[in-house]
Chains A and B, each alone.
Chain A
Amino acid sequence: MFKRLYRWLDLRIGAGQIVEKELTGYLLPRNINEWYSLGSVLLVIFALQVVTGMLLMVYYVPDADKAFQSVTFIMNEVPYGWLIRLCHAVGSNMMVAVLILHMLSTMIMGSYKSPRELNWVTGFILLTLVQAISLTGYLAPWSQLSFWATTVATNSASAIPVIGPYLVEFLRGGKLVGPPTLGRFFALHVAILPVVIAALIGAHLFFLKRTGVSTPPFGVDETDKPFKPESYSYQSHPGGIPFFPNYALQDLTSIFIYFAIFLAVVFFAPNMPFTPDSFVPADPFKTPAHIKPEWYFLANYQTLKIFPSELLGLSVQAIAMTFLALLPFIDRSPERHPMKRPLFLVCTAAGILLWIGLTVWGHFS
Chain B
Amino acid sequence: MENDGRRKFLGVCLAGATAAAAVAAGYPVIRYLGPRSSETSAEKLVFTASDLPEGEAKFFEYAGASAVIVKTKTGELVALSAVCTHLGCIVQWVKEKQHFLCPCHAGEFATDGSVLSGPPPRPLAKIPLTLTEGKVTIG
Asked if B28 is at the interface of the complex by the 8 Å CB criterion, the answer is: yes
List chain B positions with a Cβ less than 8 A from chain A. 28-29, 31-34, 36
* Contact-residue bracket for chain A: under 10
Whole-angstrom distance between the alpha carbons of A84 and B31 in the complex? 11
Contact check, A58 vs B28: say whether CB atoms are below 8 A apart. Answer: no
Whole-angstrom distance between the alpha carbons of A84 and B28 in the complex? 8
Tell me the minimal C-beta distance from B32 to chain A in angstroms: 5
Residues of A close to B32: CB separation below 8 A: 55, 58, 78-81, 83-84
Contact check, B29 vs A79: say whether CB atoms are below 8 A apart. Answer: no
Residues of A close to B31: CB separation below 8 A: 79-80
Whole-angstrom distance between the alpha carbons of A58 and B29 in the complex? 12
Per-residue B-contact encoding for A52-94, CB less than 8 Å = 1, 0 else: 0001001000000000000000000111110110000000000
List chain A positions with a Cβ less than 8 A from chain B. 55, 58, 77-81, 83-84
Tell me the minimal C-beta distance from A250 to chain B in angstroms: 16
Q: Which residue of B lies closest to A56 (CB)?
A: B32
Residues of A close to B28: CB separation below 8 A: 79-80, 83-84
Residues of A close to B33: CB separation below 8 A: 55, 58
Whole-angstrom distance between the alpha carbons of A81 and B31 in the complex? 9
Whole-angstrom distance between the alpha carbons of A214 and B29 in the complex? 39
Contact check, A55 vs B34: say whether CB atoms are below 8 A apart. Answer: no
Q: Which residue of A lies closest to B34 (CB)?
A: A79
Whole-angstrom distance between the alpha carbons of A84 and B29 in the complex? 8
List, sorted by A's number, 21 A–B pairs whose CB atoms are closer than 8 Å.
A55-B29, A55-B32, A55-B33, A58-B32, A58-B33, A77-B36, A78-B32, A78-B36, A79-B28, A79-B31, A79-B32, A79-B34, A80-B28, A80-B29, A80-B31, A80-B32, A81-B32, A83-B32, A84-B28, A84-B29, A84-B32
Q: Which residue of B lies closest to A59 (CB)?
A: B32
Q: Which residue of B lies closest to A80 (CB)?
A: B28
Tell me the minimal C-beta distance from B38 to chain A in angstroms: 9
**Known A79-B34, A80-B29, A84-B28; further 12 A-B contacts with Cβ < 8 A:** A55-B32, A58-B32, A77-B36, A78-B36, A79-B28, A79-B31, A79-B32, A80-B28, A80-B32, A83-B28, A84-B29, A84-B32
Tell me the minimal C-beta distance from A48 to chain B in angstroms: 10
